[in-house]
Amino acid sequence: MTRTLRIAMPNKGSLAPGSRQLLTAAGFDLCGVGPRLFYTDQDNDAEILSLRARDIPEMIAQGYVDAGITGRDLVADSGHELSEMLTLGFGRSTVRVAAPHGHVDNVRALHGKRVATTLPSLTARHLAGLGVRATVVAMTGAVEGAVHLGVAEAVVDVVESGRTMAAHDLRVIGAPLVISEAVLVALPAATGAPELRRLAERLGKVLPTRGTVGAFG
């Protein structure tokens, strides 16, 4: 890599605060990120791009960004083969199938039914792998309300505490599709580049010890 290193971070959502804190702790200047979607940190010869977490895997896969922080679940849903250079320890969650109490007891019982999700590619692959032919309904949010609205008979969504699911009378069924957290990812062919190795080392040095409460979110 001969040009300025391009590093993407989430611009909003649950991964944004931790990503910002981590990069700042590693010595990157993020003062200009916020009013602008990109900012050049001249001292570190890096450009920090503030993008939607969901778009970061695509930008890396297309070669527009060298490395980025996003969720493992979003990488899985993108379908792109990216390498995890570092697991970051914040933004932990699981992606689970959930259905109303007493309606569906296992994932295979979703055969012929509708499943609403914000992770349609991941969901379709998971169901197909189990031999379940279901209609995947793509949504951009508020998945928990899909069953009540009649949009679907079950949902696949990110579960943190499980309280939101319970509030909508949904219970998880089956094994997690993905156990997710924030990750630093790049193209497999690029992970050996000195710039990316140095980036991973810098971030790794300031990561909190596993189990540290409150560090980076």
* Mean per-residue pLDDT over the chain, rounded: 91
Mean of pLDDT values over 31-56: 87
Question: Does residue 35 or residue 106 have the better pLDDT?
Answer: 106
Mean of pLDDT values over 116-145: 96
Residue 45 CA neighbour count, 13 Å, CB half:
9
Mean of pLDDT values over 43-57: 95
Residue at token pair 């527009």: 64
CA distance 129 to 203: 36
Mean of pLDDT values over 42-50: 93
Alpha helices in 81-193 (DSSP H): 120-129, 146-149, 163-167
Q: Which residues fall within 8 angstroms of residue 70, CB to CB, at 6 or more apart?
A: 8, 10, 15, 53, 54, 56, 57, 182, 183, 185
pLDDT of residue 88 exceeding 80: yes
Question: What confidence tens digit (pLDDT) does each residue in 196-217 have?
Answer: 999 999 999 999 764 443 456 5
Residue 140 zone, left/alpha/beta (φ > 0; ψ -120 to 50; rest): alpha
Report the DSSP beta bridge partners of residue 97: 156, 173
What's 23's DSSP letter?
Answer: H
CA distance 129 to 126: 5
Q: Domains plus CATH for the chain?
A: 5-91+181-206 (3.40.190.10), 93-179 (3.40.190.10)
- Least Cα distance to 86 among 212, 167, 168, 191 occurs for 191
